[in-house]
Amino acid sequence: MVSMAMIQAARAAQFPSDPYAWVLTRDRDHELHGTSESEVGTAGPGQATEEMFERARTQGRRFRLLDEGDIDEGAIADGKDVDPDERGVVYEGLIWTEGEPGGEADFGPLYDFGTPNYGCVEIQYREGDRWVSL
């Protein structure tokens, strides 16, 4: 069985050959529930430089991290309306990668933050007017 720690260690070893940086621009969990401090502005991975983070903020591609719908079940139970186009969305952000889009680095926000922090299971990227899963 492969643990999250093993995946993170393998990703850290790959970083010098495939640099990337990401920053969160939206925390939907905080918007819906307000029970925790907002993660907007959280950036990673730890090996990235400030220059890489700035590239993510200014040149980054849009991504979003999704769970299996748990975020929405709680909101619906609280009587809140949930936009069907946002079901499962927990975080949104921007990513800069040195390599071409679609590479292993594009999974960085999911493995670095989304899965260990919230249990996210999917990452999507914006292509034109739609979201596409990797």
Q: Taking the CB of residue 98, how many other CB atoms lie within 10 A of it?
A: 13
Hey, how many other C-beta atoms are within 10 angstroms of the C-beta on 47?
Answer: 14
CA–CA dist 112, 32 (Å, integer): 23
Three-state DSSP class for 1? coil
Whole-model pTM?
Answer: 0.86
Per-residue pLDDT of the chain in tens (134 residues, 90 and over written 9): 556 556 555 655 555 668 999 999 999 999 988 878 999 999 999 999 999 999 999 999 999 999 998 888 888 888 888 899 999 999 999 999 998 888 899 999 999 999 999 999 999 999 999 999 98
The two tokens of residue 20 are 């990337």
